[in-house]
Structure 1
């Protein structure tokens, strides 16, 4: 696989993940103790791919600042900045001058998956495809566009979301391209692979193959998917070689302080320098660096941004607390509440809730 290039699209602004992405690029959000992108890079390295090109845009400088040239990961990383949004296809075409091999494996950066990457490339080669898509079977495909295939594994169509999907196969955000197909994508303008490139290939009679499986897969596009994906990594449900500690009910990072009688469950992560007070309870919680959970407070299925504080006796459930925000004593946050950075909610048993 050293002859295959990898391209990772990391340019999106992550608007669905606000307020977490107001100051952090989506792929750099802490996920089970490391940036989201680190889990994908570990899987790329493990399969033997060495040359990786990152297509960046929003907060582009943060990627190189953290990962450098990739040598610490056993990779060679290059960075290409989009000066204007180009979409998935345009982003792939934009990095074409940096590619070296005859095959290119492309990844969406906000997907956590467990598929066998070598097997996806194997399907591409065995079927002599122009493009191969990883398709994953999901229990409820109604929230996604569906991709039916025939008995020979040829993709038949790209269908929009529907309440009556004809297949349980969805686009999993991982593709293998012949280099010539990448070069054929129009340059210098926005292009969607889902709406333009792939349908155009079908119309032209190209071979578009599907590699279908039912492995672990999760789109980390919302804060609540981020929380669940992080918990799955800590619990060992999702695979990653980048986890900075053993799998289990909780992951506690360097210099964090956890009271001896605190309860940590559900794949919670306690970020570096974070504090969990006496009698506090975390269940499926994601605490960024420096977050504080006071005595007797409860945080469940929620994320606390860097330096955020949940004061004594407060409850945060299915909610998002931005960087440095403060949830006052005995407050309750529930039902999809999002608290913006630096906001201070008063003490006194007030309940806040909001749909997302």
Structure 2
């Protein structure tokens, strides 16, 4: 069995971060989202992995390499433009061959991995298996319609009027039957080859399509709100450690990881939180659910429920919350404008001005 990981999207909902960085490499608890998916694939016993890449191909290649650090072997598959998930399958035909495969969206996050799902697929081996979860607003997702016995009878991509609240999670399992399906469909109204249309083609052709509804934690990390929520969930599981240093007047409270070379001086850190290697925290407050990446400096400032990327500095800022701060950013107080009163007063006026 192989894996196909999609890492070619533009990440428009995470701009301006994704103007200069691949959305799949934005870190959660100081580790890129993509790495969690690759680790889940390796844990499921899959070692032959194709990664579909687009405009950020070089950055993805530099971060992942040949895959050996994850225990996998990586083949990179270039995609000229993001033309839909089914298009990614279409252009990956030579890599996939006639093997079964799991397709994993590189910006998705699933707590608990996919080992159980993959094992179940190997045992039952339907032509396709989809993962579903209930969401409050399914209009932003592919949506599945099930019959009374729980069988998939219809799929629709981002419907204006959803037929259910069951959204497709970004993990799919296929036999080679899907290759005929992706060749048989045309572009949607969005101009893309939709994987929902390919799976619907399989259903219409009486192929065996299974679904699994999960109640565990899943997020599409395509926007800042979801990215911060995933960061919160991961930090809840972080083991505390202090490989860096903190002075005797600093307070380290709760589940806090201070990585090698980091320094905490005259500061208070309330976990769960993670402080990256070589980062300096001085005269500052780091609140819960905050990830500060490597090589940062936070001085005379307060920050909580936020993600700070590599090489950034925050100095003299009273409180930052629910924020995603990119690489090499400098955050400082704005200069105070001189106070002045502009007056036009008639003769013999009396004016009182507070000093």
TM-score by length of 2: 0.79
Q: What does the per-residue CA deviation read over 1:215-245, in whole Å, with 9 as the maximum and x for residues that have no partner?
A: 11111111232222123112129xx9xxx99
Provide the residue aligned with 2:209 in structure 1: 208
For residues 263 and 303 of structure 1, do their structure 2 counterparts lie closer, same or farther at Cα, with a shift above 3 Å needed?
A: same
User: Is 1:294 matched with 2:299?
Assistant: yes
Q: How far apart in 1 are the matches of 2:142 and 2:3?
A: 24
Provide the residue aligned with 1:316 in structure 2: 320
Choose the corresponding residue for 2:287, options 273, 282, 297: 282
Q: Which runs of 5+ in 2 are unaligned?
A: 245-253, 338-355
Q: How far apart in 1 are the matches of 2:62 and 2:284?
A: 38
1:13 deviates by 1.5
Provide the residue aligned with 2:270 in structure 1: 264
1:106 deviates by 0.3
User: Is 1:32 matched with 2:29?
Assistant: yes
SS of 2:133 mapped into structure 1: strand
Q: How far apart in 1 are the matches of 2:149 and 2:124?
A: 9
Q: Is the 8 A contact 1:131 1:176 kept in 2?
A: yes
SS of 2:230 mapped into structure 1: helix
Q: How far apart in 1 are the matches of 2:61 and 2:336?
A: 45
User: Is 1:108 matched with 2:105?
Assistant: yes
TM-score by length of 1: 0.79
Which residues of 2 match residues 1-356 of structure 1 at below 5 A?
A: 4-100=1-97, 102-114=99-111, 117-125=114-122, 128-138=125-135, 141=138, 144-159=141-156, 167-186=164-183, 190-194=192-196, 196-236=197-237, 249-265=255-271, 267-295=272-300, 297-329=301-333, 346-348=334-336
For residues 290 and 316 of structure 1, do their structure 2 counterparts lie closer, same or farther at Cα, with a shift above 3 Å needed?
A: same
1:298 deviates by 1.5
Q: Is the 8 A contact 1:234 1:251 kept in 2?
A: no
Q: What's the C-alpha RMSD, in Å, of the aligned pairs?
A: 3.0
Q: Which runs of 5+ in 1 are unaligned?
A: 330-345, 350-356
Count of aligned pairs: 320
1:60 deviates by 0.3
Q: Is the 8 A contact 1:287 1:305 kept in 2?
A: yes
Indicate the larger mover: 52-61 or 114-123.
Answer: 114-123
For residues 77 and 160 of structure 1, do their structure 2 counterparts lie closer, same or farther at Cα, with a shift above 3 Å needed?
A: closer
Higher-Rg structure is: 2
Indicate the larger mover: 30-39 or 305-314.
Answer: 305-314
Q: How far apart in 1 are the matches of 2:144 and 2:280?
A: 46
